Amino acid sequence: MLFFHPLLQFGVILLALFVLWLGWHRFQSLHLHRRGVVFRRRRHVLLGRLTLLLMLAGLFGGLSMAWLTWSSVFITGWHARVAMVIAVLAVTGYATGSHMERVKKRRTWLPLLHGITNAVLVLLALFQIYTGWRVLSMYGII
């Protein structure tokens, strides 16, 4: 049962990397003034929302697994702490993305904030692979 959370989150991280790659195209056209770069807005928005919601679901799944296994949530140390930061970034990314999708107009700073927030989120999620592996190793699960 404890492997459901890591497997789900690993898949979500792969999806997040793809969504970040889609967003990179927007950054190139908006801030680097590259012509001919195609930004697949609908795909980015749909998969971005799904990814952020799955990350939050994974957070609650991980908290549940920790509670059911060890009767404590923050026993996993850095893994749990970084997850809390990821939660804040995911909510911020979802809110900024939803606002840009709902109120369409030319912007410079909000897309940049959105991109930086979500890029940091993906970097922290990659760090979670390391911390999660350590948790599984520390408690003899792998």
Burial of 62 (0-12, 13-18, 19+ CB in 10 A): buried
Is residue 74 within 8 Å of residue 62, measured between CB atoms? Answer: no
Parse the chain into domains and list their residue ranges.
4-138
Least confident of 22-36, 58-72, 75-89, 90-104: 22-36
Give phi and psi for 110, each to the nearest 5.
Answer: -65, -45
Query: pLDDT tens across 78-127, in order?
Result: 999 999 999 999 999 999 999 999 998 988 899 999 999 999 999 999 99
What does DSSP assign to residue 108? S
Summarised one tens digit per residue, pLDDT across range 131-142 is 999 998 987 777
Task: Name the strand (E) or helix (H) holding 4.
Answer: helix 4-31
- On the question of pLDDT at 2 being above 80, the answer is no
